[in-house]
Structure 1
Amino acid sequence: MTTEEEFQKVLAMCRDLFIKKMHDYGVAWRILRPTSLTDQIYIKANRIRTLETKGEALVDEGIVPEFIGIVNYTAMGLIQLERGASSGNDISNEEALTLYDKMTASAMELMLKKNHDYDEVWRAMRVSSYTDLILMKISRTKQIEDLQGKTLVSEGIAANYRDMMNYAVFALIKLTLE
């Protein structure tokens, strides 16, 4: 499989869970501000790092579901950046899925460009490095949020969310497809 095919396969797995969660909860996540989504991504990434360090989980969920959560929360974050947080369920599940697909497609487009320039270097990296890079991107995102988006040279919050999504997908490729 090509990187693009692997990426699409992992995104399909994440999308499937997103659909199932929408069935159960609707679009309740629309109430979350981007800062809250950044914190949710932090919780997931921090748990992954803890599990990588300790080597065992006492809660019966491993690293793979946490990386899936990062993909889905970053997609939600990108939607919230574009649409703004809502006080209620203001979009249908179908519209949310269309927006989800738009956001994951934009991340994949970015990955393809970067992957061309970096020549598949991600394949030589360790999953723990993706975790650390995601945690670094979260730290950067929190700083940008604290600056209320007023940066001097940064690409901004959306770019950081896309990078986090891409690192999580790379980890999922390594953990589930290789």
Structure 2
Amino acid sequence: MVAEDISGEWVAIVNYGIMGIIQLGLPSTTVVDIDNTKALALYDSTVGVIRSLLSAKNHDYGEAWRDMRPSSYTDMVLTKIQRTKCIENNNGKTVASEGIDANYMDMVNYAVFALIKLTLENS
């Protein structure tokens, strides 16, 4: 049995969240295959938007994430997944909630916080 580092799971959440946001921004008729240059441009652009959100929320909440336990990041991601499923089940309509893209961005940011925390703990 090969021991796997949990950080790989958080990296996967970051990447899948970014891919989900990119897919939400593409027309539904878009062919799945896009060239590497366009894919990288979309990825970098999406990362820029998410990074800005992370910075704004970090400023608003005073780096509260630093006091959170790793299990709290997991709980927050699971909550965002549940919200996303509810929005999808409601055909994208929301009453008092943010859209699917905002939930993906939050999942990415929680995963980034977890990765930072893991890096700090292991150094």
| TM-score (ref. length: structure 1) | 0.64
State, as a whole percentage, how many aligned pairs show the same letter.
57
**Alignment deviations for residues 24-70 of structure 1 (CA, whole Å, 9 cap, x no partner):** xxxxxxxxxxxxxxxxxxxxxxxxxxxxxxxxxx5542211110000
Root-mean-square deviation (CA), in Å?
1.4
**Which of these residues, 123, 144, 159, is aligned with residue 87 of structure 2?**
144
Return the structure number with greater helix share.
Answer: 1
Separation of aligned partners in 1, 2:79 and 2:2: 25
Separation of aligned partners in 1, 2:39 and 2:120: 28
**Which of these residues, 128, 134, 141, is aligned with residue 71 of structure 2?**
128
- Please list every run of at least 4 consecutive aligned residues from structure 1 whose deviation after the TM superposition is greater than 6 angstroms: none
Distance 1:103 1:136, change over 3 A: same
| TM-score (ref. length: structure 2) | 0.90
Count residues with an aligned counterpart. Answer: 120
Separation of aligned partners in 1, 2:44 and 2:87: 25
Which blocks of at least 5 consecutive residues in structure 2 are unaligned?
none
Q: Does 1:97 align with 2:40?
A: yes
Which is bigger in relative contact order (C-alpha 8 A, separation at least 6)?
2
Which amino acid in 1 is paired with 2:115?
Answer: L
Q: Does 1:80 align with 2:23?
A: yes
CA positional deviation for 1:94: 1.6
